[in-house]
C-alpha cells in the first residue's frame, strides 16, 4: 500500500534533534570496509533502504557484516581480492550511489555480476560511468538507452585513466577512483567544479594514498586498504529539511546536532545565509577526518536571490527543499546551472515546479534550473514521484501553507530518512501518515 503524508498548516520547529547518519559516508564505509584488511567498526550508520542495499550486496559477495544495530556495524574485511561471485543479481533498490560506485568496483573483479534496481533506478542514466570505465578496459552491458540493469563482465584488466569529467558528479568521480584502485598505473579525475569528497577522505582514512591538487584527484592502483573505525556524522541533506522548515516559519528555533559540514556539502548553508536566514554553527570539531557542527536555525524573513552557480554542486541534493524556501522568500529566486537535477530519482526541476504550481506558487522551470516568485503557499495535493526528497520538502512547505498539503507516494522516504515523520512531529510539524 502506498504511503501518503497529510500535513496540516502552521506550527513551528523547536528543540534539539539529531537526524540520521550521512548517507554518502554510510555507503562508503561498507564498500571500503569490505575490501579492507581487518575489521572496520562503524558508528552512526544510516539504516535506510539505500544503505542497506549496499550492505546486502557485500554480504551477497561473501563479506561477514554484523549489524546494523542502533547504527553500529562491524565489517570483517576480505581484502582487495577477497570478494566472491554472488549467486543472483545484486539488487540496488532506489540507490544511484550504490549502483554507480559499485560499477567501478565490480569492473575489476574476476567474476561476472548483474546489478538491478527498482523502477526509478531503472530509468537513470549510467553511460556517464560505463563510458569512462570502458576506456579503462571494463566491459559493462546496459539496456539500449544506457539504463540498468548493468551486466559487468569479470576478469578484465583495467588500465589507469586521466579523465576530464564533462559534468560535476561525485558518483562518477568515486566510481572511477574505485576502479583505479585495481588499475595498472595512475588514475586521475579532473572536476569542472568541486563535488563532495567523502571518497578521497575515507580512502586516506583506510591508509590509501590519494593526491588532490586543485580540481584534480589522483591515485595509483595496486595498494591495499587497512581497516579503521568510522564515526558517521548526521546527514546534512536530511538536516536540510529542518533547517529550511525553521527558516520559513516564525517562532522556530531548532538545533541540529553533530551534522557533517564537509566543505563540499555546505552549499545549502551558504545559500540560506545569502537569503537572510538566521543560521549559526556551534561546537565545530573534526571527527574521523570529517568536520561536524551543531546547526542552529531560527525563523527569519528570507529574500529571493540569484543563486551563485559555484554553489550548485555543493547543494545539488538540497534544491528541492531550497525551492520551498524560495517560495516563501520575498522577491524572485533564480537557479541556473543545475541540469543534474533532471536525472536524479525524479526530474527534480519539473516535479518541484509542478508541485509548487499546484500549491499556487509562481514557479517556472528552465532547462537547467527554475525561477520562483516568492509569495503564498496554498493548500493542495502533490505527487512525490517516488522521490524521497520531494516528499520531505513539501512536508516542510506546510509550515507556511494556508491549508493542508497532501503528498502522495512517500514510501521512498525510508531510503534516506527512516523515522522522518515521527521526528518531524516531535519537532513541531503537524504531519500524519496514511497507508504504507
Is residue 317 part of the annotated active site? The answer reads: yes
Is-contact 296 279, C-beta < 8 A?
yes
Residue by residue, DSSP assigns 351-404 as: HHHHHHHHTT-EEEEETTEEEEE---B--EEEE-TT-HHHHHHHHHHGGGBSS-
**Other Cβ atoms closer than 10 A to 277:** 25
Joined together, the cell numbers standing for residue 370 give 527554475
| Contact yes or no for 107/161 (Cβ under 8 A) | no
Per-residue exposure over 86-121, b if at least 16 CB sit within 10 Å of its own CB, e if not: beebbbbbbbbbbbbbbbbbbbbbeeebbbbbbebb
Burial of 166 (0-12, 13-18, 19+ CB in 10 A): exposed
CA 2, CA 36: separation in Å to the nearest integer? Answer: 40
Residue 103 near residue 175, CB atoms below 8 Å: yes
Could you count the other beta carbons within 10 Å of the beta carbon of residue 335? 26
Question: Which are the contacts of 94, defined by CB distance < 8 A and separation ≥ 6?
Answer: 49, 50, 53, 117, 118, 120, 121, 345, 386, 388, 412, 415
DSSP characters for 295-354? EEEE----B--B--GGGSGGGGGGHHHHHHHHHHSBSEEEE-S-GGGGGSSS-HHHHHHH
CB 386 within 8 A of CB 407: no
Residue 175 makes CB contacts below 8 A (sequence gap 6+) with: 100, 101, 103, 104, 129, 133
| 3-state class (DSSP) for residue 407 | strand
Residue 149 host element (H or E): none
Q: What are the C-alpha distances in Å from 165 to residues 135, 192, 263, 330?
A: 13, 7, 20, 37
CA distance 148 to 93: 11
Catalytic residue among 317, 347, 368, 386: 317
Q: Which helix (H) or strand (E) holds 135?
A: helix 127-136
First to last CA, the chain: 5
Catalytic residues: 317
Amino acid at each position: 500500500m502506498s504511503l501518503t503524508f497529510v500535513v496540516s498548516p502552521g506550527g513551528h520547529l523547536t528543540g534539539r534533534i539529531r537526524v540520521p547518519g550521512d548517507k554518502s559516508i554510510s555507503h562508503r564505509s561498507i564498500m571500503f570496509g569490505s575490501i579492507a584488511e581487518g575489521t572496520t567498526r562503524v558508528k552512526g550508520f544510516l539504516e535506510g533502504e539505500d544503505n542497506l542495499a549496499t550492505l546486502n550486496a557485500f554480504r551477497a559477495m561473501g563479506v561477514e557484516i554484523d549489524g546494523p544495530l542502533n547504527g553500529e556495524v562491524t565489517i570483517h574485511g576480505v581484502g582487495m581480492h577477497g570478494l566472491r561471485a554472488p549467486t543472483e543479481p545484486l539488487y540496488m533498490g532506489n540507490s544511484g550511489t550504490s549502483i554507480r560506485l559499485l560499477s567501478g568496483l565490480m569492473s575489476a573483479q574476476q567474476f561476472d555480476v548483474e546489478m538491478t534496481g527498482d523502477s526509478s533506478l531503472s530509468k537513470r542514466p549510467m553511460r556517464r560511468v560505463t563510458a569512462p570505465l570502458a576506456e579503462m578496459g571494463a566491459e559493462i552491458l546496459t539496456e539500449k538507452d544506457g539504463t540498468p540493469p548493468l551486466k559487468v563482465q569479470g576478469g578484465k584488466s583495467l588500465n589507469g585513466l586521466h579523465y576530464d569529467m564533462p559534468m560535476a558528479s561525485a558518483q562518477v568521480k568515486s566510481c572511477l577512483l574505485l576502479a583505479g584502485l585495481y588499475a595498472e598505473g595512475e588514475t586521475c579525475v579532473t572536476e569542472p567544479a568541486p563535488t563532495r569528497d567523502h571518497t578521497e577522505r575515507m580512502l586516506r582514512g583506510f591508509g590509501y594514498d590519494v593526491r588532490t591538487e586543485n580540481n584534480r584527484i589522483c591515485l595509483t592502483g595496486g595498494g591495499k586498504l587497512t581497516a579503521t573505525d568510522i564515526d558517521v556524522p548526521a546527514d546534512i541533506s536530511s538536516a536540510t529539511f529542518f533547517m529550511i522548515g525553521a527558516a520559513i516559519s516564525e517562532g522556530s528555533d531548532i538545533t541540529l546536532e553533530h551534522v557533517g559540514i564537509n566543505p563540499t556539502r555546505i552549499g545549502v548553508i551558504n545559500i540560506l545565509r545569502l537569503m537572510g536566514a538566521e543560521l549559526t554553527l556551534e561546537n565545530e570539531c573534526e571527527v574521523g577526518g570529517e568536520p561536524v557542527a551543531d546547526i542552529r536555525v531560527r525563523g527569519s524573513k528570507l529574500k529571493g536571490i540569484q543563486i551563485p552557480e559555484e554553489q550548485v554542486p555543493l547543494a545539488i541534493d538540497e534544491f528541492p527543499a531550497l525551492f520551498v524556501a524560495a517560495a516563501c522568500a520575498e522577491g524572485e529566486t533564480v537557479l541556473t546551472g543545475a541540469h543534474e537535477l533532471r536525472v536524479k530519482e525524479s526530474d527534480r526541476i519539473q516535479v518541484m515546479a509542478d508541485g509548487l504550481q499546484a500549491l499556487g506558487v509562481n514557479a517556472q522551470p528552465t532547462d537547467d534550473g527554475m525561477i520562483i516568485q516568492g509569495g503564498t503557499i496554498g493548500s493542495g495535493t502533490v505527487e512525490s514521484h517516488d522521490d524521497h526528497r520531494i516528499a520531505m520538502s513539501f512536508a516542510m512547505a506546510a509550515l507556511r501553507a494556508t491549508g493542508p498539503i497532501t503528498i502522495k507516494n512517500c514510501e521512498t522516504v525510508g531510503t534516506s530518512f527512516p523515522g522522518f515523520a515521527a521526528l518531524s512531529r516531535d519537532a513541531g510539524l503537524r504531519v500524519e501518515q496514511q497507508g504504507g
